[in-house]
Structure 1
Amino acid sequence: MNAPLLRLWSWTRKVFPWALAALVLTLVARQARTVEWTEVWTAVLAIPATQLALAVGLAALSYALYGSFDLVGRRLTRAPVSVGRSLGTAAISYAFNLNFGSLVGGLALRLRLYTRWGLSAPTVGKIIAYSMVTNWLGYLWVAGAVWWWAPPRLPEAWVSSPLWWRGVGMAMLLVAAAYVALCFFSRRRELSVRGHALPLPDGRLALLQAAMGGASWLLIGAIVWSLFGGRIDYPAVLGALLLAAVAGVVTHVPAGLGVLEAVFAASLGGARWPVAEVLAVVLVYRAAYYLLPLVFALPAYGLSEAAARRRSGAGQAVGEAPV
């Protein structure tokens, strides 16, 4: 690639996320001004208790599945930590990640909790990396398949050409397939990213990563779909969720606050579904998947800190005891 193309690519990488963030946040502000929030609250109260219970149950299952992503890194790094502690650490961190951002939950909290169990920082870094690969590998093939098969219908302010979305979907499927093929056939058994080397799993484990990551996104989509009571096509709901996930990452808004709601309202609301009902479903989803797990994660983290202090105090007492 020659120098002008490199400069163009560097400029595009810097500008595109900010342009997308400005577009999404503009839509958020515009949507907030036009919404009748009393209608949204009425729609929230109209959601049946059975659908709420199903959504909470699916959310618990989703957290358990997401927590198992860390078991991939645990196996590949041979980390001396139990399965239960790994699952608990991942679940607590995920709740913090969703509500406070990836730097707090995905990185800092995970590092603190794992190092408390005796793992080194480089080992924790690899566990986090394998978890991220599993998550986004699943995203790539699920979103690629959805956008190829059922391109989202969006307002004119968004890129709405079905051909464009099918091209993006095909590219995502190819990237996911390339990772799996690399794990099967590459002679160089490590992946280098910005000077950091990550050993590649074997092909069978890469397929397992793809299955786990994909199942996680499909399950999250099922949570939102269940709150609609099955009255809207699952691929349409899943496509909106996948688009909102990327918009939330790009805009860096904590918990995707407002971004999630705007994307769902833009892709599913209007002529297809009353905006008030769409927003009601998204707010209940946020309560079931973001806030309720945090209610449990906060005391769980506090108990973990207290247990660590007791272990530290016991160790100092033993060290100070006379021989």
Structure 2
Amino acid sequence: MTALLPDDLVLTRRRWSVRASRRALLCAVAMGLLLMALCVTALMVGEYVVTPEALVRTLLGDPPARLDGFFVLGRRLPRALVAIVVGICLAVAGAVFQTLTHNPLASPDVIGISSGASVGAVTVFLVWGGSIDQAALGAIVGAVVMAGVIMLLTARSGLHGVQLVLTGVALSAIAMAVVDYVLTQVFVASATTAQTWLVGSLQGRGWSDLLPAAATLVVLVPIIATTAPAVRMMPLGDQLATALGVRLTRARWVLLSCATLLVAIAVATAGPVSFVALVAPHIARLLCGRTSLIVAGLTGAVLLLASDLLALYAFPAPIPVGAVTITLGGGFFLWLLFREGARRD
């Protein structure tokens, strides 16, 4: 059993207990409030402005005008909720990969899982002539296959160290080379549609896109939470953790499977949105001083929803949200590398 820290709170009730950090709880509340503010903003702003009174009445089922109901309930609310769910999926998956491998660079878009999903989607959409919905299924299959290949190639060294990242980078490069080749062999219109999806976009996302992603998140996050005791034991080393009765092999397989499925459904819903899975866990650790899946998930939701607002309204014409996350995430990651280098010096 790991020692309690001065910041810890322990809630007990008969046969179960929950340990939480005061700082993490405060961060979660702050992130939740920020997310609510961004969501309200997303519902109100745009070419058609919705007043606060009209927004409240529309959400209560009594829109003062038909356009209020159309824009709030038909277009803006499902898009905002999709951004929130996809952001949570990516951030939680990134936190799981980084914790599982003890490597701060081990995010789905770095180690190749997102690229595998891209290959699956492009193959279904451009090679086999499937629809966008069928391409989403191809993305899920591609992500799962890529995760399996990574597991096979790192079976000897394990899911840690530089070898995992280098293997993922190599596989990602191969996967994107396949995608680029396919794009050069199809009609320009189809290639343009595929390229927009490959950047990551929430354009046209609605209630039908939200339900599968939300259902997957609701099912997988509690499964990940049940492995929390094993995760806390991992830093002690395999031998000591096993001696304490922790089934590390089983925990790793459960975490890897759940994280892969979260990435797969996120990519299937919004395309391979970059850097959210990599950056959100780092921001959460900076805020909390430790790894917190709740804070990481809320941070991912805030990042993606804020990026979508910027993509819609900060430029002369709307751009894919992935272009914004690449810019913001890349800038943050460069700052993080500079900060770590200055600290070592």
Give the TM-score band, short-chain normalised.
Answer: under 0.3
| TM-score, scaled relative to structure 2 | 0.26
Q: TM-score by structure 1 length?
A: 0.28
